[in-house]
Amino acid sequence: MDLEVIFEDKALIGINKPSGLACEPGRAGEEDCVQSRVLTHYRESGQKAKNLIAGLCHRLDKPASGILILSKKPSVLKVMNEYFEKGQVKKEYLALVEGAAQHIPSSPRLWHKKIDKHFRAEIRNEPGSGFKEIRAGLECLQASPEYSLVKVKLYTGRYHQIRATLAFLGHPVWNDEHYGASKRVEEMRIGLHSSRLEFKHPISSEPVILESPWAGFEFWGLKPLV
């Protein structure tokens, strides 16, 4: 029941979510999730847990890792949800992808559609019925024939946007079988990490910058690039 807290005050709590951990209880009734661990943290740290919530301001896919912000109060959650909906939160991710991605487009113009039946997203490079435009900035930081490291600045937040986009561009996220990547490990984890969030504090209006730096390819249990 470990919880890596990287930011906390009376309004918000920021954690470094491990891969394989769901944000909230699942349909199968799984109890261990980010929200349950945060509520346990309140109690164990002596806070008045009955007066606090573990409100998800945004979400990360279960196999992904990195920074996740939760609200302690309903009023704060409402403000934070508006921040995310209006694009007032700067979001950066690191993605380990298959193949040499040094020529990946920096600002691809793409359209997205959620396919509920298959729990996935479809991407295309032109408008269509049910498709919404998505925006992101991509930068290849390191590349080799086997895999590459890509920094993603996310400007829209659609369902599976990063995973579906990178797969559409020919570089699926490492171990992301759902989008066509080769299976590398048995654990439920993929090479996608929320590395930086920047936003205005919902109460003080002071800037909040949270970072979860990537420590190297060992983070995903891989050998360094050569």
pLDDT digits (tens, 9 = 90+) for 36-74: 999 999 999 999 878 899 999 999 999 999 999 999 999
Residue 226 covered by a domain = no
pLDDT at 180 over 80: yes
Residue 43 covered by a domain = yes
Global pTM value: 0.92
Mean pLDDT of 141-163: 92
Structure-model confidence comparison of residues 214 and 159, the more confident one = 159
Tell me the CATH number at 27. Answer: 3.30.2350.10
Question: How far, in Å, CA of 176 to CA of 179, rounded?
Answer: 6
Question: How far, in Å, CA of 18 to CA of 189, rounded?
Answer: 9
pLDDT of residue 142: 86
Mean pLDDT of 97-109: 95
Question: How far, in Å, CA of 154 to CA of 93, rounded?
Answer: 8
Q: Note whether 91 and 197 are within 8 A (CB).
A: yes
Mean pLDDT of 15-32: 86
Residue 205 covered by a domain = yes
pLDDT digits (tens, 9 = 90+) for 181-201: 999 989 899 999 999 999 999
pLDDT at 226 over 60: no
pLDDT of residue 58: 96
Residue 220 covered by a domain = no
pLDDT of residue 225: 53
Q: Note whether 154 and 162 are within 8 A (CB).
A: yes
Question: How far, in Å, CA of 173 to CA of 158, rounded?
Answer: 17
Tell me how many domains the chain contains. 1
pLDDT of residue 48: 87
pLDDT of residue 51: 87
CB-CB neighbours of 29 under 10 Å: 6
Give the domain range for residue 145. Answer: 5-214
Question: How far, in Å, CA of 143 to CA of 103, rounded?
Answer: 10
Residue 221 covered by a domain = no
Residue 59 covered by a domain = yes
Residue 177 covered by a domain = yes
Which pLDDT band, with edges at 50, 70 and 90, does 223 fall under? low
